[in-house]
Structure 1
Amino acid sequence: MSARTAELSRRGFLTGSLLIAAGTVLTTGCSTDPTGASSSGAKTTLNVWYHAYGEAGTQQAVIRYATAFTKANPDIAVKVTWVPGDYSGKLNATLLTDAAPDVFEIGDFSEAMARRGQIAALDDVYGSARSDFNTNALGSVTVDGKLYGVKMIDDVIVLYYRKSVLAKAGITPPTTFDGLAAAAKALTTKKGKGLFVGNDGIGDSPSNAVWSSGGDLVTADGKVAFGTAPALEAITALKRLHDDKSLLLGFTTDWWDPSAFTQGVVPMQWCGLWAMPAVQDALGDDFGVLPWPASKAGGTPVVRVGGWTGCVNAKGGKVAAAKKFVQWLWVQQTDLQKDFAESYGFHVPPRTSVAATAKKLSEGTAKETVALAAKHGKHNPGTWDTAVSSTFNAAAAKIVAGQGDPAALLADAVTKAQSQIDKQLGR
């Protein structure tokens, strides 16, 4: 899941820490100071953070992985810390303290963390396996030619639609934004709306609009790119969904959860591959997936690719042991990588050889989704931090609400975002 910028976690569950020492699980509650390592004989204790995945069994899986690592490396104990709620905010705050984790995952990769020296370069961790990671997995963690993380999973986000509902309405799955807007309007009734992109009515739609116009958010050299005329036209077109009152707003869960779709509240929803097992359980084969459609005929369809990346705290004092853990789990243990991708919701393994053996992703709609990601996948640039994305989305929200001149709003967002990116890059 997209990854994804870590808004309030899409998976909110239990909290606490578990210490894995010599294969034994010791509960340490919420403490940031693990205990029991000395009695286990371990010379080093790693604090490893995960956000609170909502897919059942994920927490137990990462504990099992930690246990297997410690069994193979008895000199290193592992404390698994499960963090609910605003994971990104908690992580950024804790990294400034002595309680900072040694290993942690992040959603959309942040170049700023590498430039600030918070995360270690991991080129040596990859070794000969580097060529087995897909282009997105490598490109998204590269800063000035060095790799600063190991992608754990690729989270693919697509447009789900109910085959039977669209067929009954005589609607062909849309391939352009005009088609999507028309379908959403036609499918909106007194009983429900036609489309769900997020409780705020925005979600990923502004960035999708930019990409679907053939543009980009930020260039590789850190120049804001979302201020073009085609991008402005595509973002402004989103207003149509709001004017038509076609969007579901304020549902009990947000876009990352498939409940609105599986419960028949909407016939179309922007959601992730991770939700597909739940969709299959509820609807059988009465659903399909599409990319976010091109802004115009002949344009660029969009599939959002996020995910989670394992990083090592460069300032934690346990870099060597932390690298060993990341290498063992996310480079060497291909069976565990496949388990993590297939068994707790669906995710795409970043390793091409592992993805090729992921049986659950090699058939039906899951296979189609993986193919769409390979063809149309887009990931947020490393400079797309909270400040930059918030600036962009705030302007887009005003544009679709008709609160000001669209060109002026977007131009102002370009100026502010460029200033924020320049600060990141130290220029």
Structure 2
Amino acid sequence: MNIPVNTPAPRIGRRRFLTGSLLIAAGAVVSTACSTDPTGGSSGGKTTLNVWYHAYGEAGTQQAVLRYATAFTKANPDIAVKVTWVPGDYAGKLYASLLTDAAPDVFEIGDFDEGLAHRGQIAPLDELYGDTRADFGAAALDTVTVEGKLYGVKMIDDVLMLYYRKSALAAAGITPPTTFDGLAAAAKALSTGKSKGLYLGTDGTGDGPALAVMSTGGELVTREGKVAFGSPQALEALTAFKRLHEDKSLLLGFTTDWWDPSAFTQGMAAMQWCGLWAMPAVRTALGDDFGVMPWPAFREGGTPVLRVGGWTSCVNAKGRHVDAANKFVQWLWVQNSDLQRDFAESYGLHVPPRTSVAATATKLTTGLAKDTVELARRYGRHNPGTWNTAVSTAFNAAAAKIATGQGDPAALLADAASKAQSEIDKQLGR
């Protein structure tokens, strides 16, 4: 999940239960409309843009996007901006809204979904980049490219990795593992009393199955849209992943999911899969008693993995104010590098997608933050653009059953691959 400089307060969650809209015109908040319905209307200015954000958990983020909107309307008084803060199932609410007249003009999405481009729901934004295009990292461009056009502007990169408690590993005589066997053995050895060795999420799977596949050097889906997670290597890795459950090494059912570091900082797990955004909160709680590492290679000679996600700003191609929406996205995410750096560095930690902005993000240039960015450069993997809800659900459901011994692994994975391929073929119109 998927940011002035301050020390973030403890995270309430990536999806805090807050909602509502604030209307900003001519550089000032002119009215509020708080409701459980984030699509309520407002008016003001010659044009009113509805801009959606998911409910970030990092303290100060909501206030920051309101400041940005205020600065934009001061520079463009003919365009009012209604900032809508959407809690809960953001993706579900967004996709439902895009089928209605109440859809936002500008919205962010997490892992880029190229199906939105194929369905004509988001506008190509190539012209917005101008001469800054070369300043965006190759991955930031590749992930939003569909049939040669750019359908979004990456706002932040979120790096996901394993945190480990230095003192816990040292007390057990364990060095950070470099293979899955090493990880499984470490997780088992570190499970003592009420503390478990590893936290991957409330369900005990989280990103683990996808990481297991990628750690063999394989892919989930190829760039050509062919399912790859049904390979013999993937089956071997997913079957091995079951060991974490058999060994009872995983913390299950914690009160917050993997995106929140509380299980780790409260000593409930010696290792946790989480994100760079949590590093300030982890450091506040633990000082220097933590380290970071990739998900280890499946075996020696394999591929360590960090996942790189983040958030991308898109324009509703079917909206009533496409030109004004383009202007807002360009102003905020292309032209104003100071605001891009603030968003990435001041509310948790995120990586700016632009090379020049990242170079001035001082909190990312030292210590473990710097190490994490370097690890992401070497081992970072993005989910494929075809990895939508239907595809990921098919894979994750099969992986969860394999991990908990509910059926024949080969049959479960083959069925999931078939379902996923049918869905991808529909996305790509073939």
Structure 2 CA distance for aligned equivalents of residues 175 and 11 of structure 1: 33
Structure-1-length-normalised TM-score: 0.96
Structure 2 CA distance for aligned equivalents of residues 380 and 172 of structure 1: 29
Alpha-carbon displacement from aligned partner over 1:292-347 (angstroms, at most 9, x marks no partner): 00000010000010000000000002111000000000001000000000111000
Structure 1 CA distance for aligned equivalents of residues 39 and 110 of structure 2: 22
Structure 2 CA distance for aligned equivalents of residues 240 and 29 of structure 1: 47
1:36 offset after TM fit, Å? Answer: 4.5
Structure 2 CA distance for aligned equivalents of residues 111 and 35 of structure 1: 30
1:33 offset after TM fit, Å? Answer: 4.7
Give percent identity, aligned residues only.
Answer: 77
Structure 2 CA distance for aligned equivalents of residues 65 and 13 of structure 1: 22
1:403 offset after TM fit, Å? Answer: 1.4
Structure 2 CA distance for aligned equivalents of residues 296 and 166 of structure 1: 21
Are the aligned partners of 2:14 and 2:58 in contact in 1 as well (CA < 8 Å)?
no
Structure 1 CA distance for aligned equivalents of residues 48 and 230 of structure 2: 48
Match of 2:15 among 8, 11, 19: 11
Does residue 376 (structure 1) correspond to residue 371 (structure 2)? The answer is: no
Alpha-carbon displacement from aligned partner over 1:51-71 (angstroms, at most 9, x marks no partner): 000100000000000000001
For 1:35, the aligned partner's letter is S
Partner of 1:29: 34
- SS class of match (2:198): coil
Are the aligned partners of 2:42 and 2:82 in contact in 1 as well (CA < 8 Å)?
no
What are the residue-to-residue correspondences of 1:3-82 with 2, within 5 Å? 10-25=14-29, 26-30=31-35, 32-37=39-44, 42-82=45-85
Partner of 2:281: 278
Does residue 89 (structure 1) correspond to residue 92 (structure 2)? The answer is: yes
Residue ranges of structure 1 left out of the alignment (5+ in a row): 3-8
> Which stretch shows the higher mean deviation, 19-28 or 174-183?
19-28
Partner of 1:329: 332
Are the aligned partners of 1:391 and 1:413 in contact in 2 as well (CA < 8 Å)?
yes
Partner of 1:320: 323
Structure-2-length-normalised TM-score: 0.96
Residue ranges of structure 2 left out of the alignment (5+ in a row): 3-12
Partner of 1:421: 424
Would you identify which runs of 4 or more consecutive aligned residues in structure 1 move more than 2 Å?
28-36
For 1:382, the aligned partner's letter is G
What are the residue-to-residue correspondences of 1:7-406 with 2, within 5 Å? 10-25=14-29, 26-30=31-35, 32-37=39-44, 42-406=45-409
Are the aligned partners of 2:195 and 2:270 in contact in 1 as well (CA < 8 Å)?
no
Alpha-carbon displacement from aligned partner over 1:332-382 (angstroms, at most 9, x marks no partner): 100000000011100000001101110011111111111111110001111
Are the aligned partners of 2:16 and 2:56 in contact in 1 as well (CA < 8 Å)?
yes
- SS class of match (1:238): helix
Structure 2 CA distance for aligned equivalents of residues 410 and 89 of structure 1: 26
1:141 offset after TM fit, Å? Answer: 0.6
Are the aligned partners of 1:195 and 1:269 in contact in 2 as well (CA < 8 Å)?
yes
1:135 offset after TM fit, Å? Answer: 1.5
Partner of 1:5: none
Are the aligned partners of 1:13 and 1:54 in contact in 2 as well (CA < 8 Å)?
no
Structure 1 CA distance for aligned equivalents of residues 383 and 42 of structure 2: 39
Structure 2 CA distance for aligned equivalents of residues 198 and 178 of structure 1: 20
